[in-house]
Every structure is written in structure tokens, then in C-alpha cells.
Chain A
Amino acid sequence: MNNTAASPMASATSSSGRSTGKSVSFATELQSMMYSLGDARRPLHETAVLVEDVVHTQLINLLQQAAEVSQLRGARVITPEDLLFLMRKDKKKLRRLLKYMFIRDYKSKIVKGIDEDDLLEDKLSGSNNANKRQKIAQDFLNSIDQTGELLAMFEDDEIDEVKQERMERAERQTRIMDSAQYAEFCESRQLSFSKKASKFRDWLDCSSMEIKPNVVAMEILAYLAYETVAQLVDLALLVRQDMVTKAGDPFSHAISATFIQYHNSAESTAACGVEAHGNAIQPCHIREAIRRYSHKIGPLSPFTILALLPRLECGDMILAHCDICLPDSNSSPAKPLK
């Protein structure tokens, strides 16, 4: 029910956004972010625009659902608890979010202790700000946890494989850079949505919402936006890797129709002489990633398939697949082709 309510609205906003050309665009920042996440030195503008669209849709969706949850509670603002509630189903993502919140707390604590003035400011402000996000998260999860699974996440020390993979990729990327390139890379890595808070708010059109998110909720939203971009890049790189036929690949004779289609398009773009961006992620990679892995992308991944439909407009074959994407299909990752 949530999905059907969300999707027409999502498509409405997204289509209007795309037609008018949003005044607020994160395309350039996204290009830098994608570079820092593993893309080529100069990511394509089209790819950035596509990624921006996807992320935007996801976040609008999330915000609307969060607003509904807030309304149910009778609250005036969207709080982090609402966002945590929406994400309760996906343990891995939730855990990553919690870890991020703790690191944020820890960093504030350390950095405050360093500068004498900050220390005094902190004492003067009187309120017990230490570990505030951790407290929020803990209290909330305590209240909704029935089986003890959620609280177990606080003690969970498993290695996050996705994060590990990202770290390794970054390490590989930076190993071959010289110091000037590395300096540039570091700067791109420091980009985030939270640094441009006001632009981010405008982008999400928060002012037109009845129930607005509070400060910590905005932090979480910025983080989730960044995570979505990171996921898209991860999966697009995976898709791109798949597209390259390796010698001795046992399944090379069993390539699917979609693969051929994308491969052709990739070749044609190469033929057009876009070789300068040979390493850059193409929009077709992103689309294929969405098609294949849409249940993984975004904070509310099981629920966002329909929201992503307008993005997948690159061919009849794809649209045919989309018809099969029913609201309850989140349980089956393997969708029947055609």
C-alpha cells in the first residue's frame, strides 16, 4: 500500500523535475563523489545526472514515508527515530547507519577535547551532548525491539563486506597516484551532502513539506544519500566488469539478450570515439545495475522498485521486465526474464 501511494507521487516529482531542469543540481558534486568512490578521473556528466535522479527519487520516497510515520506518531518533525523505523527490516544497512552515527559521536567528542575553546563551549552549553546519536538510536531500538535482534547489532563486530570492498578499492586506486592527484582525490572524498546542508534541503524541497526533518534526521538523510551513490557506483562497477568478456570464461557462450544489447551500446559509444572516458561509468551501466540489483539499492530497497521504474526507459525489453515487478516481489530477487 505504501508503494502504490508513493510511486505516482515519486514519478510526478521526478518527471516534473526532469522536464524543467531542477534549479538545484548536484551533478558536479556527484561527479567528484563518484570519482572518490571508484569511478574514473572524470566521470561522465550523463552518468552523474542519472545518479542524481535515482538518489533524488529514493530520498523523496523515504521522506514521504518518514513523514507518514511521523504523522502516525502525531509528531511535528521527522526525527531520526522515524528513519530508523523505516530501515528496521534491512539489518546490514541499519548496522552501517548505526556505526556511522557512533563514529560521528566519537569524532565530535575527540575534536572537542582538542581545542580549548570548543571544550569550554561544550561545557557552557550545559546539555549532555556526548553520544547523543548513540543514545537516540539505542533508546529507540530498545523500544521497538521484540526479539532482541536489533539490540544485538550494537555488539555486532562483524566485518562489513561492502565497506571492506570499498576500502580496498580506494586503496588500490590511491596506490598508483602521485601526491598532486592524491590531494585532489582526498578533496573529492571529503565531499558529502551534509557539507552543503542548505543546498541539500532545497534539493529535497524540504520547505514545501508539512513535516520537516530535524537536524539529526537531516544528517542521516545526507548519509543515506551518500550511501546510495556509493551503492550505485559499486554495482555499476560490477556490471561493467561483467561486460568485459574474459578469455576462458566458461559462461561466455551463454550470454543473455540484455547483455548483448548493452554490449552493443558500449561498443557503439566506444566507436564514437568516447575513448577518453573509456574507464568512466556509462549511464547504461547504471541502468543495468538498477535492473539487476534494484532490491539492494537505496535505504528502503525492498520498496523502491516501482519508484525506479521511470528511470528504466532504455528499451522495450527492460520495460517488459518491469511489468513483472509487483509490489510484493521484494521476496524474490530473481525475477523471471520476459
Chain B
Amino acid sequence: MASAPQPERALRLLARCLIWYPPPPPTVGFLSMEEEETYLELYLNQCAAQDGLAPPRSPLFSPVVPYDMYILNASNPETAFNSNPEVKETCGGFSSVDLSFLPDELTQEDKNQPVIGSKHETEENSESQSRLPSPSDIGLGSNSPSLSNPHSQQHPSDTDSVQASPEKPDSNSLPLASITPMTPVTSVSECCGIVPQLQNIVSTVNLACKLDLKKIALHAKNAEYNPKRFAAVIMRIREPRTTALIFSSGKMVCTGARSEEQSRLAARKYARVVQKLGFPARFLDFKIQNMVGSCDVKFPIRLEGLVLTHQQFSSYEPELFPGLIYRMVKPRIVLLIFVSGKVVLTGAKERSEICEAFENIYPILKGFKKA
């Protein structure tokens, strides 16, 4: 069900790696994209070199690809349950760290490119610290001395929510952990290495200033505004491929990203666009509201059996919808389970919830495998 846009996206990625785009002429919103991309790519290549997992593809690839590779290698983030409370803390801590480190008014970027570049890089580092696998921490350690935050202890646990390193509760073992190669963890798990892929992330951020939607719509590229139909500007950017709804109150919704990092990056890009138009845009309270993931268990499932044994959680009305809707209580995730074996998970605020939910459902689904 959710795999339809994938071939399209894959094609797009492939196309990008074949053609080298010359830097586009300075237009609002685009100049900074290229900038960021090059910095991000540099940084990521550095990380990849460090852990020896150099992406076989050209550096032009969208930054998300290395993440996907790491995710595919990680078989099993089930051990990341413990990290949940810490993750939350870290996230909260992060937003304050981010803002204190990088001024909300991103105006300095225009004046001082190299400085901003490194600052930006470190900012990305700090963000990706929460998401990237632990080996990258080595690089981070040296690059971001200013990130002397008390939350650095919790980073490893945060990274584990993505990675499946078993050493997460013990943050002191970070250096050791980061050196070990990223082998798939614990094949004793039932999941056989299936990890749900994120398909869509919806996030919100507060730009904290009143906006003139008409002005934005007139001056920005790829913006549509139809006040009679809907009271927000709909803006789209190509990289990461996302859509944003920008409201006159300054609140913004960003959808379509494939990872938390991408969502944040895209939101920052939109914020920069708005800023370049002259509004004092800030970047407050970035929050991921919903994450959608999907995966395939690769065997047909007998849904009638499942709905009977898990009545209080599932509802299956095939004449209404071909999938079974399973409302998992812990974590609070809704799963759509189809006869073909495809599973869609939604309602998560964090990646760990999706993984945990899939861990929980997989043995149940195996029990109803249709031979």
C-alpha cells in the first residue's frame, strides 16, 4: 500500500547520482540547499570513512541513504526499549541546546559563510548525534567542543534508538562501542532482520512571528496560496522532498520526509526561505508529530484468525478496508496488517516506537502464517 511512491523516489535518487547538477542560480531557498548539501555530504563522507562503511554510491546521493544502510544492517532495535525515557529527555534537551548554540535568527549565515558553514556542520552534527549510529560520535567529539552539554551522556542511548547497539544503557562505554563495526545485533530476535522503513514524517515548528502569506506566496518559488480554499501557504522543496503548510500565525507543518533528520532539515530550509523574505523567523519547538513506517513479513497472514484471538485490539472489515486495523496499546501504535504480509505502522512519535511495535507483532503474525 505505501510502497507505491517508493519506486518513484528510488528513481529520483538514482537520477540524481548520475547527473551532477551545477549550482543553481541564487534564488530564494535554493542557494542554501546546495550549501547545506555539500556540507552535509562532506560530514557524512567523513563519518562513513571512519567506520569503514563508505557508501558505494557517489557522494551526490541524498544524505538519507547512509542512514538507510545503517538501518538495514541493524537487525533489531528491540533492546532500545530502555532508551525511551532517555530519548525523550534528550530530545527536550536538544531543542534547548540547538537554540542556544545556533542563534534562532539565522541571519549570520549570509555574512560569514565559512564560519556559518562549520557552525552549521556542527549543528547538523548535534542533530545527527541523536540519530546517527555511534561510530560517528568519534568525529563528533572532535568537531563539536562547544557542544559541551550535560546531555552528551545520553547521546549514545539516543543513537541506540536508531542503531541496535546493545551497549546503550552504559554511556561510559561509548568510545568502545563506537569503534566496534556495525554488525547486525542478536539474531536470536524473531524479526529475522526485518526493520520497518519510515515512509512519512509529519512535524511542526513554530517560526514565532506573524507572516504575510501573500508576500510569501508572491516571492517564494514553489509556493501556492489560495485563501478561499485554505488559509495557509503550501510550499514544496525538492531536497528533501517535502511539503510544508505555513500559517499566518507563524506555525508550520512539514510532511513527506523519510527520516527525522530530513524532516528537521527540511523544516530549517523552509524557515530559511521565510527568513530570506524578510521575516524574523525563528525555529522553536520543532516536534515530530507522526511517523509512518512500513515493512513486509514476506508470508501471507490469516487475518480471520488474528481478529478472533485479538478481538479487543483488532478490527477487520474486509468489505470496508482490505487490511486489519490493530491498535497496539504499548506502544500506542496503529498497525495495518494485510493478507499479503505487508504491515504499515503509524501513530508513532519516535522511531523506537515503530520498531518496538513491529517486534511485538511479528511473533503474533508468525502464529497466523498461512502456509
Q: Is B370 located at the chain interface by the 8 A CB criterion?
A: yes
In angstroms, Cα B336 to Cα A106, docked, is 12
Q: Is A203 located at the chain interface by the 8 A CB criterion?
A: no
9 residue pairs bridging A and B, Cβ less than 8 Å apart: A100-B320, A107-B321, A113-B290, A115-B200, A173-B304, A175-B302, A186-B303, A186-B339, A190-B319
In angstroms, Cα B46 to Cα A205, docked, is 70
* A contact residues around B97 at 8 Å (CB): none
Chain B residue nearest to A124 (CB atoms) is B230
Q: Is B229 located at the chain interface by the 8 A CB criterion?
A: yes
* B contact residues around A171 at 8 Å (CB): 304-305, 308
Give me 16 other A-B pairs in contact (C-beta within 8 A), A116-B243, A171-B304, A171-B308 excluded: A107-B321, A113-B290, A114-B344, A115-B2, A119-B202, A120-B234, A120-B245, A124-B229, A126-B229, A167-B304, A167-B307, A174-B302, A174-B304, A178-B371, A186-B339, A190-B319
Q: Shortest distance in angstroms between B348's beta carbon and chain A's nearest beta carbon?
A: 11
- Chain A, interface size category, equals 35 or more
Q: Is A18 located at the chain interface by the 8 A CB criterion?
A: no
Interface 1/0 per residue, A188-208 and B, CB below 8 Å = 011110110000000000000
In angstroms, Cα B371 to Cα A195, docked, is 30
Chain B residue nearest to A219 (CB atoms) is B320
Q: Is A41 located at the chain interface by the 8 A CB criterion?
A: no
In angstroms, Cα B290 to Cα A182, docked, is 34
Q: Is B317 located at the chain interface by the 8 A CB criterion?
A: yes
A114 touches B292 (CB 8 A): yes
B322 touches A186 (CB 8 A): yes
* A contact residues around B133 at 8 Å (CB): none
Residue among B319, B325, B339, B371 with most chain A CB within 10 A: B319
A106 touches B325 (CB 8 A): yes
In angstroms, Cα B318 to Cα A36, docked, is 10
Residue among B304, B318, B334, B346 with most chain A CB within 10 A: B304
B317 touches A100 (CB 8 A): yes
Known: A110-B334, A124-B230. A175 touches B308 (CB 8 A): no
Known: A120-B243, A183-B300. A110 touches B2 (CB 8 A): no
Q: Which among A179, A189, A195 is the interface contact of B300 at CB below 8 angstroms?
A: A179
A120 touches B255 (CB 8 A): yes
B319 touches A194 (CB 8 A): yes
B308 touches A167 (CB 8 A): yes
Q: Is B84 located at the chain interface by the 8 A CB criterion?
A: no
In angstroms, Cα B314 to Cα A106, docked, is 12
In this complex, how many residues of chain B approach chain A with their Cβ under 8 Å: the count is 39
B320 touches A104 (CB 8 A): yes
B256 touches A116 (CB 8 A): yes
Q: Shortest distance in angstroms between B97's beta carbon and chain A's nearest beta carbon?
A: 30
A123 touches B302 (CB 8 A): no
Q: Is B315 located at the chain interface by the 8 A CB criterion?
A: yes
* A contact residues around B199 at 8 Å (CB): 114
Q: Is A103 located at the chain interface by the 8 A CB criterion?
A: yes
In angstroms, Cα B311 to Cα A41, docked, is 27
Q: Which among A114, A183, A190, A195 is the interface contact of B200 at CB below 8 angstroms?
A: A114
Known: A171-B304, A178-B371. A116 touches B319 (CB 8 A): no
In angstroms, Cα B200 to Cα A86, docked, is 44
A191 touches B319 (CB 8 A): yes
In angstroms, Cα B300 to Cα A185, docked, is 13
Binding site for B on A (CB under 8 A): 36, 100, 103-104, 106-107, 110-111, 113-116, 119-120, 123-124, 126, 159, 167-168, 170-171, 173-175, 177-179, 182-183, 186, 189-192, 194-195, 226
Interface 1/0 per residue, B212-239 and A, CB below 8 Å = 0000000000000000011010100000
* B contact residues around A175 at 8 Å (CB): 302, 305
Q: Shortest distance in angstroms between B294's beta carbon and chain A's nearest beta carbon?
A: 9
* A contact residues around B255 at 8 Å (CB): 116, 119-120
Q: Shortest distance in angstroms between A301's beta carbon and chain B's nearest beta carbon?
A: 21
* A contact residues around B230 at 8 Å (CB): 123-124, 126
* B contact residues around A36 at 8 Å (CB): 318
Interchain residue pairs A-B with the least CB separation, the first 8: A192-B319, A189-B318, A170-B304, A171-B304, A190-B318, A124-B230, A174-B304, A116-B256
B370 touches A182 (CB 8 A): yes
* B contact residues around A168 at 8 Å (CB): 308
* A contact residues around B245 at 8 Å (CB): 120, 123
* B contact residues around A103 at 8 Å (CB): 315, 317, 320
Interface 1/0 per residue, B303-333 and A, CB below 8 Å = 1110110010001011111100100000000
* A contact residues around B315 at 8 Å (CB): 103, 106
* A contact residues around B290 at 8 Å (CB): 113
Residues 170-229 (chain B) with a chain A CB within 8 angstroms: 199-200, 202, 229
In angstroms, Cα B346 to Cα A27, docked, is 39
A111 touches B304 (CB 8 A): no
Q: Shortest distance in angstroms between A126's beta carbon and chain B's nearest beta carbon?
A: 6
B336 touches A110 (CB 8 A): yes
* A contact residues around B344 at 8 Å (CB): 114
* B contact residues around A116 at 8 Å (CB): 200, 243, 255-256
Known: A120-B243, A124-B230, A190-B319. A182 touches B302 (CB 8 A): yes
* A contact residues around B321 at 8 Å (CB): 107, 111
Q: Shortest distance in angstroms between A36's beta carbon and chain B's nearest beta carbon?
A: 8
Q: Which among A110, A120, A179, A195 is the interface contact of B370 at CB below 8 angstroms?
A: A179
In angstroms, Cα B315 to Cα A104, docked, is 11
Residue among A100, A171, A226 with most chain B CB within 10 A: A171
Chain B residue nearest to A104 (CB atoms) is B320
Q: Shortest distance in angstroms between A197's beta carbon and chain B's nearest beta carbon?
A: 13
Q: Shortest distance in angstroms between B268's beta carbon and chain A's nearest beta carbon?
A: 19
In angstroms, Cα B255 to Cα A124, docked, is 14
* A contact residues around B339 at 8 Å (CB): 182-183, 186
Chain A residue nearest to B257 (CB atoms) is A116
B308 touches A114 (CB 8 A): no
Chain B residue nearest to A195 (CB atoms) is B319
* B contact residues around A100 at 8 Å (CB): 317, 320
B292 touches A226 (CB 8 A): no
In angstroms, Cα B307 to Cα A107, docked, is 16
Q: Which among A115, A120, A167, A189 is the interface contact of B319 at CB below 8 angstroms?
A: A189
In angstroms, Cα B367 to Cα A175, docked, is 12
A113 touches B292 (CB 8 A): yes
Q: Which among A110, A182, A183 is the interface contact of B346 at CB below 8 angstroms?
A: A110
* B contact residues around A123 at 8 Å (CB): 230, 232, 245
In angstroms, Cα B290 to Cα A173, docked, is 38
